[in-house]
């Protein structure tokens, strides 16, 4: 074995010594990105965390678009809500085409030809493939009252002149399913929001009282929650909505149903508030506030609530789909909203028997928006929940 001394390579760097004054108290320099990270507010951090959950972002966009759209239902729907076409009862969906005989015509539909099968008395529709009827865009069509106030007739899409455009078919009265679906969205999407507001207020108040005071108050509230939780939801909804007077106007029934949905949803939220409060009220800042003589509402509202608001919003978001489904189920059974109010559940109640589904499967189309919104709320809420606690 030969012991070889390290050979100095000619391109080795000379020993470097910095001449700058050395100050051990000076913080280590940070890169701009790192500095941004450390100084970010909790809201910014939540946003960063949320952004990573791709499906949740997409769902958020879907929901945002849907809620903006229900502001302008009258303009988006191609037909007015009360428009009936008695010549086209149970018409199948008409597809939108772009090419006719290989040449580009722009969006158009083929007209439907109606024939009654005299043997089975079945309505039969065939589309006339020779005459493309172009759809009108940004046009004047059926008259409506925007939000029931401003009269107008401007639509994004209109049926062709002296033609029809039933994108999702028509129902038993010859009403356009696509337009009814759009109007139904206004009811179905808002019912969850109002319901959650009711249960949010109840949940925060009752859960706050239970969690902050503890002791026997907490015990009583806990028992009540347990009882409410052990009752099956749907029969209770049924019983309560059967209790709504039959002579109420549709608007009153709408509010009645939202309140019923909200009334039975609060225990879950109240539980979340309570358990969070129980752990938070031991924190130093809460104790300090109490020692300085702050009253319970001040401590809860000012110090504790902001601390877990994000959690609450996340769990509330996750509770909205349950309400949308609840309304759908109730209306489906005929105990929720009733015609002339149009909601997705009301639309689906027409698809209740197997004959209707087998003959007119497009009556099931309202299922699709129901599933999309509930899925979107679930994913969105999931993302919010993950983002709610950005420090972990």
Partner 1 sequence: MVQYLIKRVITMVMTLVVISALVFIIIKLPPGDYLTTYIEELKAQGENVDQSRIDFLRKRYGLDLPGWQQYLNWATGLLRGDLGWSFEYDQPVSQVVGETLFLTIILKLATVFFIYAVAFPIGVYSATHQYSWADHGLTFLGFLGIAVPNFLFALVILYAANVWFGTSIGGLMDPSYIDKPWTWGKFGSLLEHLWAPVLVIGITGTAGMIRRLRANLLDELQKQYVTTARAKGMPERRLLLRYPMRVALNPFIADVGSLLPQLVSGAVIVSVVMSLPTSGPLLLSALQSQDTYLAGSFLMFLATLTVVGMFISDVALAILDPRIRLE
Question: Which positions touch partner 1 (CB under 8 A)?
Answer: 223, 226-227, 229-236, 238-240, 242-243, 245, 321, 325, 328-329, 332-333, 335, 348, 351-352, 354, 357-358, 361, 364, 367, 370-371, 374-375, 378-379
Judged by beta carbon, residue 185 or residue 300, the one nearer partner 1 is: 185
Judged by beta carbon, residue 3 or residue 355, the one nearer partner 1 is: 355
The phi and psi torsions of 189 (rounded to 5 degrees) equal: -80, -30
d(CA 52, CA 55): 9
Least separation in angstroms between CB 361 and partner 1: 7
DSSP codes joined into one string, 294-347:
--HHHIIIIIIHHHHHHHHHHHHHHHHHHHHHHHHHHHHTTSS--TTS--HHHH
Q: Is the dihedral of CA 370, 373, 379, 385 positive or negative?
A: negative
Judged by beta carbon, residue 163 or residue 369, the one nearer partner 1 is: 369
94's tokens: 């008409």
DSSP strand pairing (122-127 vs 112-117):
antiparallel
Helix-strand-coil percent breakdown of the chain, rounded to 5? Answer: 55, 10, 30
Least separation in angstroms between CB 346 and partner 1: 14
Burial 194-225 (b: 16+ CB within 10 A, else e): bbbebbbebbbebbbbbbbeeeeebeebeeeb
Judged by beta carbon, residue 76 or residue 329, the one nearer partner 1 is: 329
Least separation in angstroms between CB 270 and partner 1: 15
Judged by beta carbon, residue 290 or residue 338, the one nearer partner 1 is: 338
Least separation in angstroms between CB 374 and partner 1: 4
Cα 375 from chain centre? 8
331's tokens: 């209306």
At residue 376, the 3 state secondary structure works out as helix
Least separation in angstroms between CB 355 and partner 1: 10
Least separation in angstroms between CB 242 and partner 1: 4
Judged by beta carbon, residue 73 or residue 363, the one nearer partner 1 is: 363
Q: Radius of gyration (Cα) for the chain, nearest Å?
A: 31
Judged by beta carbon, residue 50 or residue 79, the one nearer partner 1 is: 50
Least separation in angstroms between CB 269 and partner 1: 15
């Amino acid at each position: 074995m030969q012991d070889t001394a390290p050979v100095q390579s000619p391109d080795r760097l000379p020993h470097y010594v910095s001449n700058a004054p050395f100050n051990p108290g000076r913080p280590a320099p940070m890169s701009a990105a790192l500095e941004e990270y450390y100084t970010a507010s909790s809201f910014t951090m939540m946003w960063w965390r949320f952004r990573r959950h791709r499906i949740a972002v997409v769902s958020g966009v879907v929901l945002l678009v849907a809620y903006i759209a229900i502001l302008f239902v009258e303009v988006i729907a191609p037909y007015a809500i009360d428009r009936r076409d008695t010549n086209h009862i149970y018409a199948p969906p008409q597809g939108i085409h772009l090419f006719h005989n290989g040449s580009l015509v722009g969006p158009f539909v083929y007209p439907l030809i109606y024939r009654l099968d005299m043997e089975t008395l079945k309505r039969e529709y065939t589309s006339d493939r020779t005459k493309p009827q172009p759809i009108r865009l940004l046009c004047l069509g059926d008259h409506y009252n925007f939000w029931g106030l401003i009269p107008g007739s401007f639509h994004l899409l209109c049926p062709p002149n002296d033609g029809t455009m039933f994108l999702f078919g028509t129902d038993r009265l010859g009403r356009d399913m696509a337009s009814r679906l759009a109007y139904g969205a206004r009811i179905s999407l808002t019912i969850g929001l109002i319901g959650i507001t009711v249960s949010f207020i109840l949940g925060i108040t009752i859960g706050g009282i239970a969690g902050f005071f503890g002791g026997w108050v907490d015990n009583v509230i806990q028992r009540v929650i347990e009882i409410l939780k052990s009752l099956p939801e749907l029969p209770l909804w049924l019983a309560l909505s059967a209790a709504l007077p039959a002579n109420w106007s549709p608007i009153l029934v709408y509010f009645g149903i939202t309140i019923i949905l909200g009334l039975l949803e609060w225990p879950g939220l109240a539980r979340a508030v309570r358990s969070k409060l129980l752990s938070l009220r031991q924190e130093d800042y809460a104790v300090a506030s109490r020692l300085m003589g702050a009253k319970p509402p001040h401590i809860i509202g000012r110090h504790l609530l902001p601390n877990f608001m994000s959690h609450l919003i996340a769990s509330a978001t996750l509770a909205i789909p349950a309400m949308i489904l609840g309304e759908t189920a109730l209306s489906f059974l005929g105990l929720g909203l009733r015609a002339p109010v149009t909601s997705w559940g009301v639309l689906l109640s027409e698809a209740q028997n197997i004959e209707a589904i087998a003959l007119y499967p497009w009556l099931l189309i309202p299922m699709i928006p129901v599933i999309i919104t509930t899925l979107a709320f679930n994913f969105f809420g999931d993302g919010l929940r993950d983002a709610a606690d950005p420090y972990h």
